[in-house]
Structure formats: C-alpha cells, structure tokens
Chains A and B, each alone.
Chain A
Amino acid sequence: MDIVEQIISGDVRATARLLRDIDDEIPTSKEILKELYPHTGKAYVIGFTGSPGVGKSTLVDQMAILYRKEGKTVGILAVDPTSPFSGGAILGDRIRMQRHFLDAGVFIRSLATRGHFGGLTRSTNDMVNVLDAMGKDIIIVETVGVGQDEVEIANSAHSTVLVTVPGMGDDIQAIKAGIMEIGNIFVVNKADREGSRKTIRELRNMIEIGCRRGGSNGWEPPIIETEALKSRGMEELHGAIEKHRSYLLSSGEDKWKEVIEKRVRIQLIETLKDQAFRTLLDRMEARGDSLDELVEKVVDKKSDPYTLVQEIISRELG
C-alpha cells in the first residue's frame, strides 16, 4: 500500500507522518495532498476559538465524547503558540483530552503556530483535508488562544464556536467589532463563576444589534452557558452545533454552497500566496539574489522596498 491508500484506510501512523511533512513544508507532501483531495468533502468541521484559558480544550474534549456516542469518528487539531524567542513550543492542549487514547475513533494532533498569525497554523486547512480523507466524520479545530481578532477559523470551519467566560469585558468589546463574522455559536464557559448572567446579557445585546444591522443571514447565534469541567451544558452546545449544521444544509442549496465556496476560496488564495512567494524566493536564490542584500540596499538608502519588489516581480514574473 502506498501512503495515499494507507491514509484513506485510516492508518494512524501514516496520517501522523504526513501531517508532519505538511507542517514542515516537505515538497512531496503536496503531491500526496493532491491525491487525497478527491477523497475529501465528507467531514463536518467545527472551530473552537476564544482567549487563552477560557476552556476550549475542555469543551473540545466533551464534544468529542458526545460525537463518539453517536458513533461518529473525530479528528482534533489543537493549536498552541510557538515561542518567538526559541522557535520551540509547548503543546499542552492534550492534557484536557486524555480519555480518548484507547479509542481508535479519535485522532488528536497538537500544532504550533510557527510564526503564523490568525489563530491557526499555515497549513491547518491542508491538515483538515487529510483528516477528512482519512475518514473522520467530525473535525474539531481549536485555535490558539490569543484574542478575538483571530478570525481565520471562521473561514475554515463550517460552524465556529466562540468561547468566553464571565467577567471578560475586553473580550466582549473585541467581539463587538465583528460579532456576526466570527461566531455561529457563543459559549459562556465557567458559568460557575460570578457574572455569568451579565456576560450573557451583554452578548445577547450585541447579537441583537448585529442582527438588526442585517448581519444575521437568517441565523441568530445562540448563547450557551456551560461548565465544561462538570459537563454542564454539553448537550445544549452539541445541540446548537447540530442546529447550525441543519440550518446550513436546509436553507436551500445556497447557505451550504456559500460555506463550501468560502472555504475553497480561502484555501486557493492561501495556497497561491504561499506557492507564489516560495517560487519567487527560489528563483531569486537561483540567481544568487539574497534577501540580505536587498535589506542592505534599503537600509543604505540605495533603494526602497517598493522599487525593489517591483523590479523582482517584473524580472521573475513579467
């Protein structure tokens, strides 16, 4: 069996290895992705985002249990930050997802941002495709916990769950800016803490304003109060996700198509950007043009970034 067949048949080792190659930008991984692509499109992708420590991993763990009870297989991609100083990372999301290790129906992979901004990693979408081709029914992506302006996940997932906790006024302010664009479902976790009701009220107000402005598109994001540590509110959250899925699927062809097109568009653009940049760099390198020299030129005021880039583009692509 070659690696493509292994992955399609659900082989964990082969899948784990390919994910690494994709992350490390090994060129052969692109060839493998090409062959896997026809086998994608079956999984449902759910994103969990929110500030550090709000309980994303704990919630993801709980959702995995519920989907397993329905007999669905689950793939999880959990992103943590890379240290800008060393390039290393501590990936700790699995600490909250310990109970699945004997269950072949759950595959969990921890990822480091490696300098990528936006809440995901550079290749999260490719990895979602791999888990999809591997046959996972549900793919859950936990973004790095960095703040609410990290909206990349909204373009990658079918349903995005935005998690906050009581007393995070800043969070709510930040959500305000793009409330309808980010979350399809809102969770106020750690409801055992004081101020949960108030947070829910504030969120509800904001959602109402958003809906009135016409951002709702027929879906009013529900707010679910949870206490993930005690499994409280989990059925409700699961129900809300499933309701959003039915909403996408049942509102004619339109909504579903819209989401699919959005995901494909983003992936196309990202891949194009990535490859174009890489190709340019390779060609420059082949000519013996080094980035360092260009930096030098600009620093010495012999040129400026705009002229240099224009020159490179017209030389290499013109």
Chain B
Amino acid sequence: MEKGRKLRILVAKPGLDGHDRGARVIARAFRDAGFEVVYTGCHQTPEQIVSTAIQEDVDIIGLSILSGAHTYSFPRIMELLKESNAQDISVIGGGIFPLEDIPKLKEIGIKEIFEPGAKLQDITDWVTTNIQPRQAVALKAR
C-alpha cells in the first residue's frame, strides 16, 4: 500500500425492504478495521450506488441484501460500473442468497459472497487481504 493510503468502501443496501441493521453492523466493523466507510442506508438503486461509488472514489462496494434483490441489482451494478469505465471498483455481497445463485454472481464479477453465518472478522480480513487502495493518478496522460 502506498504511504498514507486509506481504503474507502461504500456500504449500500439495494432493494425495497426497510431495515438496515445488517448494513449498519458491517459498516461499523469496517470502520473498526480502519477503513473509511461511506454509508448510504436503504433503498438504493443500482444507479445511485454506482454514482455514489464514483463520486466517493471507493475501492470497493459492499452490498447488503435481504430479499432476493440481488438477481436484478447485482448484474445491473456490474453493468453500470462497466459503462462508467469503473470496473476497477470491486464488489462484494452479504446476506441471504439461494446457493445456486452464488456461482452466477461470481461469474458476473462479484468478488466474494458472504452468507449470514460469516463472522465480521472474516469479512474485514477478506477485504484487507484482497483489496488494495488504488494507485495515485498521474499528472500527464500516458
């Protein structure tokens, strides 16, 4: 990691169901792991999530899912990241997923899926190990 670099992560909750306890808990765990967590709460559309991720220049998006919203929102988020030329932003998900969906999600580029039993420590460790804050921008175009 470059000196002084801080990892920035967006924690968002797509979908319509109302409470964000799970997302709050994981946001706090990320903060306690030393990351800067942009937290936006419930009811996020894929468009909102990607636009926020870009403005906030996060390294990774953590999506918290409860009610099957992943079948639409995950592919749409990946698509929007690609359209915005921002595929370098990693995406992970946590929550309840039908087992058979997990390989599909990985196939479209979701880096990791954490199921409800996952320990907070395992999730933060995974991020620390697998996600590096990005390189500095160059003054002149290459």
A-side residues, CB < 8 A to B, are: 1-4, 12-14, 16-21, 23-26, 28-29, 31-32, 35, 82-83, 85-92, 94-95, 98, 101-102, 107-110, 112, 114
* Known contacts A85-B32, A88-B30, A101-B51: A28-B8 contact under CB 8 Å: no
Partner of A16, one of B39, B55, B85, B138: B55
Interface band, chain B: 35 or more
Partner of A89, one of B2, B31, B86: B31
* Known contacts A12-B54, A16-B56, A18-B137: A94-B40 contact under CB 8 Å: yes
User: CB-defined interface of B16-42 with A at 8 Å, one 1/0 digit per residue?
Assistant: 000000000001101111111111110
The answer to whether the Cβ of B139 comes within 8 Å of any Cβ in the partner chain is yes
Residue pair A101, B52 in contact (C-beta under 8 Å): yes
- Shortest CB distance A78–B (Å): 10
Partner of A24, one of B6, B33, B39: B6
Residue pair A95, B136 in contact (C-beta under 8 Å): no
Residue pair A108, B137 in contact (C-beta under 8 Å): no
Cα separation A89 to B41 with both chains bound (whole Å):
15
Residue pair A102, B47 in contact (C-beta under 8 Å): yes
Partner of A95, one of B39, B47, B51, B56: B39
Residue pair B139, A98 in contact (C-beta under 8 Å): no
Cα separation A109 to B57 with both chains bound (whole Å):
9
Cα separation A26 to B137 with both chains bound (whole Å):
9
User: CB-defined interface of B86-98 with A at 8 Å, one 1/0 digit per residue?
Assistant: 1000000000000
- Shortest CB distance A2–B (Å): 4
Cα separation A94 to B38 with both chains bound (whole Å):
8
B residues near A2, Cβ cutoff 8 Å: 139-141
A residues near B30, Cβ cutoff 8 Å: 88
B residues near A94, Cβ cutoff 8 Å: 38-40, 52
- Shortest CB distance A153–B (Å): 21
A residues near B28, Cβ cutoff 8 Å: 90
B residues near A19, Cβ cutoff 8 Å: 57
Cα separation A110 to B8 with both chains bound (whole Å):
11
Residue pair B2, A24 in contact (C-beta under 8 Å): yes
- Shortest CB distance B98–A (Å): 29
Residue pair A21, B36 in contact (C-beta under 8 Å): no
